[in-house]
Chain A
């Protein structure tokens, strides 16, 4: 048997955001709606900004969950997850906009399209997301959960040994 049951952890890249760097400018929303629909309209963006109070900014896109609840919640089998990339695939003929997947998603990452009335979600622009390319603050990264954890570990250790590293 050469077929792998699970893809390697490095295969599934998602759009990750660093809230310390995110300034809430919404360039990601504009470029996403343009890339996908040739218009400027945040409501048609697969990535959305949240600003809380004056100091918290964060944009959110699909996190490519393992065992995604959106897929599980769809009674019409309109959603499935690509085994290779982890991207959620929407069968627009089957979807009737009932919104159970929207309720199931903890991140508000799957949304109802304002014109088509079916759900839509980040498809990572086939592996080269425009939002990451355009983010003026480099707050977005197209990466895997493993690398996210690696980076966190490295920065934590750097902080710990700040004095040593400086000399």
Chain B
């Protein structure tokens, strides 16, 4: 089962100029050039990934079908010294949760290595007969037997591959047992703690019998205008020492816990409450004082954020994991759990089994809510007392999910499907959008964010729009939505599309003082391809529309731009500023109408032919035929 290639490389700056195509069914391995026109239009990362996925798939495929390709893409900055931009990579495929197009990005070192191996993107097609891993060693690409790796954790897999290939600077992205068992919340982990987490793309990888991707890249990465580029990098280094990134460098994202708690937007006990009485004990302040032992940086980063926490005592002594707000929230306040040691353990288990820690925590909270309401009993849980706040039960059920054991087998399907299987009205407790579990913002009282969540193409996500920041900073009235506010969301959505396509870190977003202008300059200095701020904004809009078109092709429509049932039926009960707030169907309809109008879409949320033409996506107009 060995295959090798050796081809020449087109000369582009920043970009490697090549796309690698690996068919796991036939063992065929080919490369094709990345055309400059495509590069400029779709940038890289998730933009290029979505386009490649659309061009290489048929509509209506099952996400686990061998015909559903898995795309891996780097950005034009990957492999350079661009701070935070040098290291990113993105996976794109049809999600087994949303059944639309989905992306998941990750940082670390893996992306830079792939660029040095000489690829802007890799297309994985087909399905291997038995477990394999792909070994990309510059121009030589081989499909290797992975029988001995099957069942191993992501960390074990990484270590074993480095050992057997005999190079400790090889970078690995792999799935754990959860991905192998097609857990719909399975993620793809690289560099031990970094996850391309959301939307279940680890399960897509598992469905291909693809255990891991190992990369060694030894080629040079050159930029078009190195002197000016380095000058700009130096400016960014300085800005990264300033106020825009101070949160990530000090307490880290867990700082959110107390902020959200005071604003009454910290979802607690599966969105039953919006304040948590145990917030202090799971705060960023407490985490840093008691547990954080080291802060690491990703490759090329000049700010570093990766807070590594170690449990010093108790039943989970010695457990080590990187802790960010979202997983901390999901296993903590969201499950009513106020024990940091158990939260760190649960996050570590997610890394071990290869599960999205946000979704995993939300699922545990969902199961607890079902248990509290008598929908699940001890007969279902295997004797576990799954009440809110039971830290040990939370850890146990997380492990059962990773192994697909007992109730864990049902929960591994994600809250939407699990609720369908459990029945008895469980769907009322399933907090998801488009099948993807909610994240740590109580959007009942953050209405700008709520719209951003509803229209996010990959389901419940704070990172596709960042609109929560407007609500939390008080730049918008977070309890009432007015006409025209959608413009604010659209602006950030399009910017985030570019951030995720260049693949610079979201945590660095504050250092691009001039927004698109700074990012366009960055792009031009690296690639030598002329790009104005307006062109780049246009590209962001193009990519937002591209993702929408991909979802429309897969049958998603206005009805899928929904909010969790709880958010739309249960006002916030707590004595806090947000008390009584929730979102009615009428309000949501008002928001969606406003958003679609400002996007230039129809009332059903379909991009019009004029819009499609304006953005240079004419070749996709067949998708909207009969719908506009």
Contacts and interface: CB of A to CB of B under 8 A. Distances in A.
B296 interface: yes
Given A23-B304, A54-B322, A34 B294 contact: no
Contact of B81 (A30, A43, A51, A55): A30
A25 B226 contact: no
Contacts of A137: 297, 304
B293 A55 contact: yes
B221 A24 contact: no
Listed residue (A30, A43, A51, A57) with the most chain B CB atoms within 10 angstroms of its CB = A30
B192 interface: yes
Given A40-B222, A41-B221, A27 B294 contact: no
Contacts of A39: 220-222
A23 B109 CA distance: 13
A13 interface: no
B526 to A, nearest CB: 10
B300 A41 contact: no
B2 to A, nearest CB: 24
B79 interface: yes
Contacts of A31: 81
A155 B237 CA distance: 28
Given A23-B301, A40-B223, 10 more contacts: A25-B300, A26-B300, A27-B81, A31-B81, A34-B81, A38-B226, A40-B86, A40-B220, A43-B218, A55-B320
B398 interface: no
Interface of A: 23-27, 30-31, 33-34, 37-41, 43-44, 51, 53-57, 114, 134, 136-137
B320 A40 contact: no
B439 interface: no
The 10 closest A-B pairs by CB, nearest first: A39-B220, A23-B297, A25-B297, A30-B81, A136-B302, A55-B294, A23-B304, A40-B221, A41-B220, A25-B301
Contacts of A57: 294, 296
Interface in B297-316: 297-304, 308, 310
Contacts of A25: 297-302, 304
Interface residues of B, number: 36
Nearest to B295: A23
B219 interface: yes
Interface string B215-241: 000111111001000100000010011
A136 B81 contact: no
A40 B79 contact: yes
Contact of B299 (A26, A43, A55, A136): A26
A40 B80 contact: yes
B116 interface: yes
Nearest to B216: A43
Listed residue (A34, A40, A114) with the most chain B CB atoms within 10 angstroms of its CB = A40
B310 to A, nearest CB: 8
B193 interface: yes
Nearest to B321: A54
Given A41-B221, A54-B322, A34 B226 contact: yes
27 contacts: A24-B296, A25-B297, A26-B300, A27-B83, A27-B300, A27-B302, A31-B81, A34-B81, A39-B220, A39-B221, A40-B79, A40-B80, A40-B220, A40-B221, A40-B223, A41-B116, A41-B219, A41-B221, A44-B220, A54-B322, A55-B293, A55-B308, A56-B294, A57-B294, A134-B237, A136-B237, A136-B303
Contacts, number: 83
A136 B320 contact: no
A54 B308 contact: yes
Contacts of A43: 218
B230 to A, nearest CB: 7
A54 B192 contact: yes
B166 to A, nearest CB: 15
A34 B230 contact: yes
A151 B300 CA distance: 28
Contacts of A136: 83, 237, 240-241, 297, 301-304
Nearest to A44: B220
Contacts of B301: 23, 25, 27, 136
A30 B226 CA distance: 12
Interface in B55-95: 79-81, 83, 86
Contacts of B322: 54
A39 B218 CA distance: 12
A137 B240 CA distance: 11
A18 to B, nearest CB: 13
Interface in B385-406: none
A33 B112 CA distance: 15
B320 A54 contact: yes
B296 A41 contact: no
B215 to A, nearest CB: 13
Contact of B297 (A24, A44, A55, A56): A24
A33 B296 CA distance: 22
Nearest to A55: B294
Interface in B70-128: 79-81, 83, 86, 109, 116
A34 B304 CA distance: 22
A106 B194 CA distance: 31
A51 B79 CA distance: 18
B80 A30 contact: yes
Interface string B264-308: 000000000000000000000000000001111111111110001
B317 to A, nearest CB: 16
Nearest to B168: A50
Contacts of B230: 34
Nearest to B308: A54
Given A23-B297, A25-B297, A54-B296, A40 B81 contact: yes
A41 B217 CA distance: 9
A76 B149 CA distance: 45
Nearest to A33: B220
Contacts of A54: 192-193, 294, 296, 308, 320, 322
Contacts of B299: 25-26
Contact of A114 (B218, B300, B303, B304): B218
A163 to B, nearest CB: 21
Listed residue (A39, A44, A51, A56) with the most chain B CB atoms within 10 angstroms of its CB = A39
Nearest to B240: A136
A56 B296 CA distance: 9
A144 B116 CA distance: 35
Interface in B25-70: none
B512 to A, nearest CB: 17
A167 to B, nearest CB: 24
